[in-house]
Amino acid sequence: MTTAADPAPTFASIYDAHVDYLWRAALRMGLDEAAAEDVVQQVFIAAFRRLDDFEARSSTRTWLFRILLRHVRQHRRSLQRKSPHAFHDAVDPDLLTAPGDSPDLALARSEANRLIRLFLEELSEEKAEVFFLMEIERMTGPEVARLLEAPVQTVYSRQRSARELFEIFVDRIGGRGQ
């Protein structure tokens, strides 16, 4: 009849440890807050149901991150099905050229996140995760390599390729917006 305080890691503690990260990552991938809330919940629930998969994994965070990546992609697809025009490609040119003191920074931020998401959609999953982890999360190549259990050269090569595509993407949306 004691309280429920126990020192062992519980699902609740897993949640506590990673929810902030997943939340930020979801926003950084371009979900608005309501969508991020749904998707992050789904990620945890999915994780919950897949403990067997989890047990062979070395990093909870990576594992959750990958689930998140997929859910964000799915989320976008389902939104597109529901309202095909929800994602238009028009871009505020200021986003790429103006100095940081935008009149509406929050708007610029969410727009930037939306664009990042559009870009991530275009990448293969492997490149998308490397790009996100290195360019947005600013992890180093060796860190990402450890996280993804991939050779560091592979990571760098994915990064290089993703960066090239990103420049093309930026040119494209910049040109269209102006």
Residues from 32 through 51 that contact another protein (CB under 8 A): 33-34, 37-42, 44-46, 48-51
With CB under 8 A as the contact rule, the residue among 122, 143, 150, 152 that binds another protein is: 150
CB 148 within 8 A of CB 69: no
Return the number of other C-beta atoms located less than 10 Å from residue 22's C-beta: 23
Q: Hey, which residues between 65 and 84 contact another protein (CB under 8 A)?
A: 66-67, 70-71, 74-75, 78
- What is the number of residues in the chain? 178
Distance between CA atoms of 64 and 44, rounded to whole angstroms?
8
Considering beta carbons, is residue 84 or 99 the nearer one to another protein?
99
Beta carbon of residue 84, minimum distance to another protein (angstroms, whole number): 18
Beta carbon of residue 29, minimum distance to another protein (angstroms, whole number): 9
DSSP string covering 45-102 = HHHHHTHHHHTT-S-HHHHHHHHHHHHHHHHHHHHHHH-TTSS-----THHHHS-S--
Q: Is residue 174 within the footprint of another protein (CB under 8 A)? A: yes
Q: Hey, which residues between 81 and 140 contact another protein (CB under 8 A)?
A: 95-97, 100, 108-109, 111-113, 115-116, 125, 134-136, 138
On the 0-12 / 13-18 / 19+ scale of CB atoms within 10 A, 158 is buried
Considering beta carbons, is residue 88 or 171 the nearer one to another protein?
171
With CB under 8 A as the contact rule, the residue among 5, 81, 85, 88 that binds another protein is: 5
